[in-house]
């Protein structure tokens, strides 16, 4: 059995401005860096971090990695957010003005990545990463006397759209994914299921003390 912790990046400069991001590449805001560092200092024991190549996710991953002495992170292009085409850089009001009723009808501009293509890309990336990590654990097991002696879980730092798409593909309804929130994914004999919700929006925060959760949600 393998557990992957899927986490959305910390607040970016465009999150703070209310702009749609997609494949655009804004960095973390000062608040985002601070919160990522606060979360990292309380985080679960992890053996490796894999990130979307987009800067907001990569910076979040690097902050968590530094706090856990994990060294260089890996990136995977399949973990990037959905390509939003013409909407990238726009605010919600600008989208509603330019594309009336699109948001209410859950429609995307023609220039955006399709739902089918996005879901296929995300699932392929996660499945591929899981297979690679599992293969590495099996190889390590030949050296280690006990699997429990091997390093802990893998953290995947990605985007809200990636996590939402994964949840929906496994039968869950849409929900909002806040910054530094996410979902555990369990893979067992090729079958993928959802675990607990992660982050300070969940009832049982992963890697956060109750005091820190209260502090972060108050902002």
Query: For residue 25, is it within any domain?
Result: no
Containing domain of residue 165, as a range? 2-16+30-82+114-217
Model pTM score: 0.86
Nearest to 46 by CA among 32, 66, 29: 66
Domain membership of residue 62 (yes or no) is yes
213 occurs within a structural domain? yes
Catalytic site positions: 9, 81
pLDDT digits (tens, 9 = 90+) for 137-187: 666 555 454 444 444 689 999 999 999 999 999 999 999 999 999 999 998
With respect to residue 87, please indicate whether it lies within any of the assigned structural domains: no
Domain assignment present for residue 153? The answer is: yes
Residue 12 lies in a domain: yes
% the chain with pLDDT above 70: 82
Judging by beta carbons within 10 Å of its beta carbon (0-12, 13-18, 19+), is residue 208 exposed, middle or buried? buried
Q: pLDDT-based confidence at 216, cuts 50/70/90?
A: very low
Average pLDDT over the chain, rounded to whole? 85
Q: Does a structural domain hold residue 72?
A: yes
CATH of the domain at 170: 3.40.50.1240
- Structural domain count, the chain: 1
Q: Residue 7: inside a domain, yes or no?
A: yes
């Amino acid at each position: 059995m393998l557990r992957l912790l899927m986490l959305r990046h910390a607040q970016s400069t465009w999150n703070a401005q209310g702009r749609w991001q997609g494949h655009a590449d804004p960095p973390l805001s000062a608040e985002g860096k601070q919160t990522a560092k606060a979360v990292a200092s309380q985080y679960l024991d992890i053996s490796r971090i894999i990130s979307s190549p987009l800067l907001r996710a990569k910076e979040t991953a690097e902050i968590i990695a530094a706090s856990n002495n994990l060294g260089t992170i890996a990136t995977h292009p399949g973990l990037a957010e959905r390509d939003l085409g013409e909407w990238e850089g726009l605010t919600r009001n600008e989208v509603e003005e330019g594309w009336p009723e699109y948001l209410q009808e859950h429609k995307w501009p023609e220039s955006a990545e399709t739902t089918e293509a996005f879901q296929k890309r995300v699932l392929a990336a996660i499945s591929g990463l899981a297979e690679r990590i599992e293969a590495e654990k099996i190889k390590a097991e030949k050296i280690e006397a006990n699997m429990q002696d091997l390093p802990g879980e893998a953290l995947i730092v990605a985007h809200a759209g990636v996590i939402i798409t994964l949840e929906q593909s496994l039968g869950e309804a849409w929900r909002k994914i806040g910054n530094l929130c996410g979902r555990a994914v369990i893979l067992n004999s090729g079958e993928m299921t959802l675990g607990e919700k992660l982050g300070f929006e969940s009832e049982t925060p992963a890697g956060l003390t109750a005091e820190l959760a209260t502090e972060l949600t108050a902002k």
